[in-house]
Chain A
């Protein structure tokens, strides 16, 4: 979301069929706006955009109409840790779609699922965020190796983890300076990737902290430029922790 002129905004949307698109929403910053509330961040909306989607990037399209399907921002704005996690999810989704109008159905589904997961508050917000990041990286083709060596492919859980090598590494391939996360942390990362919430929810704070550190390092290594929102994620809350 970006302010434009006196009362307009440029809205960045991740769409099911057209990938990431940007469009101007006229007058939505005025309190009298008919659909400004529906264009708030993190919402799932049905939107009508005027302009030729084939005319990529040459002109800014305009949002004509927006109907809400589920406005997750309403709940997320009232829960600070979840709001910061949702921001990191939205920024990651934007960064993983460098080109506009390139459809990415998997990323759309993951982002929508993550927003829904955050809003229902069934799991800790950091777990939902890390599960999204791991799966989004997998959809982009850079899933960290967790059940085999990232270098030689030797199967099994390996003790060392090297971000530049691409994940866990066996003793023979282990580069100097590799991290040695607790085995339970790698187990948590596998569970989050697979969506095994029983294991994920049972994890403790130290596992979650270590997992978040490895996931963030892996993501930022591949994105080459750090995410602005990731350092601002509020990890102090122990919501959903068992």
Chain B
């Protein structure tokens, strides 16, 4: 245990996700020895992120203005919306370069064990967007786990009666891997989702 400011810093760093007491101590001493300019830049970045970053009023992705970069982009298609759980999922899909529509960030997945139900997610806001009549396809890109699957099932039940095409991201084998190492669930899903060549 240290005293005063250094212990306060260790305690604060230790509250961050994935940072244990040892890592917090290592980071605190690194900062103590770092150049003043480096520390000032870090402090400024922390302050700026809290001051400037908010949620996009349309899709709930992170944004620095009323709407995020993707919602403001006039070149993107308004006919499809890709539903994801978290803003980081938007980044992952954007990296593929395959999707040119809009996004909707739910803010999590339905997980009754954690007390998260449909009302705790931005499902009402999604339904309001779909009611505009412009959307032709809703792509459900929630995580490929039980909670993500259940959330997709719930959304599909809500949206299908509106006459909008609802699709789910395919599950399957990772590129570059050997078939024999795939687990039975992933391989089973890959079989279910096989396509004609």
Contact = CB atoms under 8 A, between A and B. Distances in A.
Interface stretch (A53-61, A87-95, A180-188): A87-95
Interface stretch (B7-15, B60-68, B147-155): B147-155
B150 A232 contact: no
A221 interface: no
A59 to B, nearest CB: 14
B154 A80 contact: yes
A176 interface: no
Contacts of B181: 34
Contacts of A73: 146
B113 interface: yes
Contacts of B185: 37-38, 40, 68, 71, 74
Interface in A20-76: 31-32, 34-38, 40-42, 68, 71, 73-74, 76
A87 to B, nearest CB: 4
B117 interface: yes
Contacts of A6: 18
Contacts of A37: 183-186
Given A6-B18, A38-B185, A77-B153, A232 B146 contact: no
A37 B186 CA distance: 8
A228 B115 contact: yes
B146 A42 contact: yes
Contacts of A83: 110, 112, 146, 150, 153
Interface in B172-189: 174, 177, 181, 183-186, 188
Given A77-B150, A77-B153, A84 B183 contact: no
B33 interface: no
Given A32-B174, A38-B183, A232-B117, A76 B146 contact: yes
- Point out which of B17, B112, B114, B148 has the most chain A C-beta atoms below 10 A from its C-beta: B112
A229 interface: yes
A32 B181 CA distance: 10
B18 A5 contact: yes
B145 interface: yes
Nearest to A12: B113
A78 interface: yes
A34 to B, nearest CB: 6
Given A73-B146, A78-B153, A87 B113 contact: yes
A87 B186 contact: no
A99 interface: no
Contacts of A31: 144, 174
B157 interface: yes
A78 B152 CA distance: 8
A233 B118 CA distance: 11
B112 A228 contact: yes
A79 interface: yes
Contacts of B188: 74
Given A80-B150, A83-B150, A68 B112 contact: no
Nearest to A68: B184
Contact of A232 (B115, B147, B157, B186): B115
Interface in B125-145: 144-145
A1 B111 CA distance: 10
Interface in B99-116: 110-115
B113 A35 contact: no
Given A31-B174, A34-B183, A78-B153, A41 B112 contact: no
Contacts of B18: 5-6
Contacts of B184: 37, 68
Nearest to A72: B146
Enumerate the 8 nearest inter-chain pairs by beta-carbon distance, A residue then B residue, closest first: A77-B149, A229-B112, A228-B115, A87-B112, A37-B185, A83-B150, A232-B112, A232-B117
16 contacts: A34-B181, A34-B183, A38-B183, A40-B146, A41-B113, A74-B188, A76-B146, A77-B148, A77-B153, A79-B153, A80-B153, A83-B153, A88-B112, A232-B115, A232-B117, A233-B112
Given A77-B147, A83-B110, 17 more contacts: A1-B113, A32-B174, A34-B181, A34-B183, A38-B183, A71-B185, A76-B150, A77-B150, A79-B153, A80-B157, A83-B153, A87-B111, A88-B112, A90-B113, A91-B113, A229-B112, A233-B112
